[in-house]
Structure 1
């Protein structure tokens, strides 16, 4: 996930009532496990190490995209590059049946890796702003794209067992919450078809390896990055009446924004408005002529999202008016990044949760609930307007013994976006591929 946000924590082991899953032949499931494991040894491990050592920033994933395009072509797919700037689409057609979208995000983060891994990234890259940054796969997207290749190779080998078309989407810029929207706006569905189902997983450091996690409803919240510019009239700090102080005006805006959640929404409707940065001024005795606020806004529905954003603008503008700012200098709000919530289609989630339990064991899948208000732009592929049923789930990334060691006072489990972040690649990649294969074999089962 674009984890400036928390990754899902699945806190309940309760089993939901579920629709019957496509029967899973134990011998067939074992054959898939053995084949994916062998593929990891022969090909996927090297591929993962390449991606981990060579991460690229959002919308700059040119080498990653080229390698993914080559891998999908090698697996036998029809591949189109440059969708939504650096996105890649691979189509695997296998007769009449559903169109299923499988998505993996590929961008890294501007983080200097300090994991201590022998294959740690040393990469440095100029960002979209021209500034150089250290780059790291600090959120596991290298796991996602490697697993997607493994999924494609296995589904190609299993063509006799399913019918339909699989759309493999290699998405850029998830960390900027912009890549999915860019691919949709570039005509993804018009060019390749509107999917009957859309699936994605995220590796989770907070979930043990060998475990899967899912919700029956909302998984992640909407997210909007808001820049708020507060203009003022500069003056000497000793003569404040000669100007209009944007720091004072901005401070009142920050305080007033706290009323949005507490006074404008029902108590059980989750909304978060956080001011993460407030910058103004250059010297002790100078009243600045500008203050800049950076705000993150989270909600769990389109309506709440729009209401919260409108409230921020209304409050800021009218506090500016209350302080006598002329109309052409009132606070100005700009939403620079944003994404819809991820809400699993309940019927699809019940079906695939049952499928994954059948394939991997009753205690493998943890059915939980949303924890915190993290965000993930997979939701742009499955908005209500598009009408595509979506299923988003988690794949455990940290070995159980690491949790036991942490509980005994050992090293804490590194969070996503931390320079210490690391997951167990074999366990994560192979279970990710096997679970995707199991889902497709259910949804597109050959008659």
Structure 2
């Protein structure tokens, strides 16, 4: 802690070492026992139990497995802190003594490995710990603290599910929403970007239709595999030749599915792709171009019917409102020092936290979303920053540094928005 911190921060954080063993135990438990998106039943129960013990009014099952904790403490602003709970269908390779060995059924009924390779266990643990610290130090602030443990961030459905289940109507609508997310920067550092900080994400599926035949009789077919290959190559020209240079836009094809056997020409092919943009008009242009190209390639192949192009999942760009972002980053800078709190460029990753937030000309509430470094600083320096990032099977937070800095950061951010006693 620095000598620059305001007194109420010091009082609240004075209990950090007291609660830390419980938060460390929660983190290792969550890391070792991860749950897939919208299946976070045990994780949610653990969060709810901790919040109840800290005096929160707790509601479980919001939007599926979401948990909302409310602590009213005199008049003042309502401040929402959000943490996400879900893990990835990924096999952990960190070698940690508490590494996940869990396998679970996905929605298709397939057994898949499950691991916290995006830091959501850090988010949830820091969320619970911050709730405990603020509850114990409530003589130092006023207002309503709203703790939101969200399911299904990785599948971009949890925020929408909680909102559809009345998050901002059944409970006090927050005056501001805050969240932090791990990244691969050195543990002990905080980073942020004002304005649009994360891209909008639209996940699109293209179904191409052909006519199947024996592999030895290609003349009897209209081959959807060849059609799909042509579409893949042509899609690469959209950003390169149709988007103004300097504008951020990404089109990535992540899945190609077709056929069952080497000597059978199938009658259908499927492409799954993601579009990342910051401006809606650019997304609309790209989506229109994808549809145009898919239809043109199908027509060129004499396909029996036009392709189907549909949006499977989507979320808007994450926007950091000027005033809360200024207040939060100023408080973090005062607490940690200017050398540890840095502005960074916007990222093309995406988040459904954006659905809670305000966007210019739109709905929602003002919000601030910042990043928590979690890599061992010595490792980061030795590797010159070339370290595993989120969604890598080797993504391993420096546990004690990450949790302790995360607890401080989220507490300081919350206090910057809560009223004074």
Normalised to the residue count of structure 1, the TM-score between the two structures is 0.88
Q: Superposition pairs for residues 163-182 of structure 1, below 5 Å?
A: 163-182=142-161
Counterpart check, 1:345 vs 2:321: yes
- Which stretch of the first structure deviates more once superposed, 383-392 or 89-98? 383-392
Query: Structure 1 412/207 Cα, relative in aligned 2: closer, same or farther at 3 Å?
Result: closer
Cα displacement (A) at 1:412 = 5.6
Aligned-pair RMSD on alpha carbons? 2.1
Cα displacement (A) at 1:120 = 1.4
Q: Distance in 1 between matches of 2:111 and 2:264?
A: 33
Counterpart check, 1:401 vs 2:378: yes
- Which stretch of the first structure deviates more once superposed, 233-242 or 59-68? 233-242
Q: Superposition pairs for residues 233-382 of structure 1, below 5 Å?
A: 233-326=211-304, 329-371=305-347, 373-382=348-357
Partner residue in 1 for 2:176: 197
Partner residue in 2 for 1:128: 107
Query: Structure 1 103/248 Cα, relative in aligned 2: closer, same or farther at 3 Å?
Result: same
Deviations 1:15-47 (A, max 9, x none): xxxxxxxx9655544444442122103x11111
- Which stretch of the first structure deviates more once superposed, 252-261 or 275-284? 275-284
Partner residue in 1 for 2:363: 386
Partner residue in 2 for 1:9: none
Structure 2 stretches lacking a partner, 5+ long:
none
Partner residue in 1 for 2:23: 44
Classify the secondary structure of the residue corresponding to 2:338: coil
- Which stretch of the first structure deviates more once superposed, 302-311 or 421-430? 302-311
Cα displacement (A) at 1:285 = 4.7
Query: Structure 1 135/285 Cα, relative in aligned 2: closer, same or farther at 3 Å?
Result: closer
Query: Structure 1 399/33 Cα, relative in aligned 2: closer, same or farther at 3 Å?
Result: farther
Say which of 431, 434, 440 aligns to 2:408.
434
Q: Which fold has the larger relative contact order, with Cα–Cα distance below 8 Å and residues 6 or more apart in sequence?
A: 1
Structure 1 stretches lacking a partner, 5+ long:
1-22
**Contact preservation (8 Å) 2:12, 2:136:** no
Classify the secondary structure of the residue corresponding to 1:80: strand
Runs of 4+ with deviation above 6 angstroms: none
Partner residue in 2 for 1:35: 15
Classify the secondary structure of the residue corresponding to 1:188: coil
Normalised to the residue count of structure 2, the TM-score between the two structures is 0.93
Query: Structure 1 412/154 Cα, relative in aligned 2: closer, same or farther at 3 Å?
Result: same
Q: Distance in 2 between matches of 1:414 and 1:247?
A: 34
